[in-house]
Amino acid sequence: MNDLQKMDGEKSVLRWGGLAGILGGIVFILMMVILLVLASDPNASPEELLMNFPNDRATTYLGESLYLVALILSVTLFLALYRALRGTSLAPALFGTGVAFLGFAVLGAGALPNLAFAQIADLYHAPGVTPGEQTALIPLWQATQGIFYETDTVGFFFLMVGLIVLGLGMLRAPAFGMGFGGVSVVIGVIGIVAIYVVGLGSLSFAAVVVLTNVIFPLIFGWKVYRLSKAA
């Protein structure tokens, strides 16, 4: 491979990674609109969620599928960030991306929780089920939700650590500098603090989720895309 082909390949990585980040932020916004506007209130009681599940099944599956797509697009963005940073900050780029990928893997494993909830809801709405049996299924729903909260918390923690490490690498990278590096570090720190202060189950955590899944991919996706033009 000659130098020109190598340069074109590197530009392609940055271009596709940047576009993936921008698209990932847009997909996440669409996911939030679908789940918040069309589905039942996620803060409703477990009994209400069980009762409404048949009506919310299709909408929730669509929203969760979009979330999984957004995660995949974010992985592509982080690969591009690694490529953009490895020349000047190899260690932070490598370790930050690696830790972030652990977070994406855990988050991806819990991206479709209603595959598990559907089985509980089917039992709840099964013909001939008694009120006592329905009542017994409510704690099972709560326990299942607790498992997904735990996996989401661990995945989000890994992702925030990855953002901090990548941000530290950006501080010394001329292509990013203090501005972009500081933004990445601040988002990561805010995310970790929020995990311990309010927790993922709190409505207040939604602001952190927007920072991580909308603001970050849009800003850094656009930045990486512009780097592909300047390379």
pTM above 0.85, yes or no: yes
12 is in which domain, residue-wise? 3-230
Do 114 and 64 form a contact (C-beta atoms < 8 A)? Answer: yes
CA 187/CA 55 separation, integer angstroms:
36
User: In this structure, which amino acid lies at residue 36?
Assistant: L
C-alpha dihedral (94, 18, 158, 40), degrees to nearest 10: -170
Per-residue pLDDT tens for 206-221? 889 999 999 999 999 9
Residue 158 has pLDDT above 60, yes or no: yes
Per-residue pLDDT tens for 97-151? 999 999 999 999 888 877 788 888 888 888 888 888 889 888 988 888 888 888 9
Overall domain count for the chain:
1
Per-residue pLDDT tens for 23-54? 999 999 999 998 887 776 666 787 888 888 88
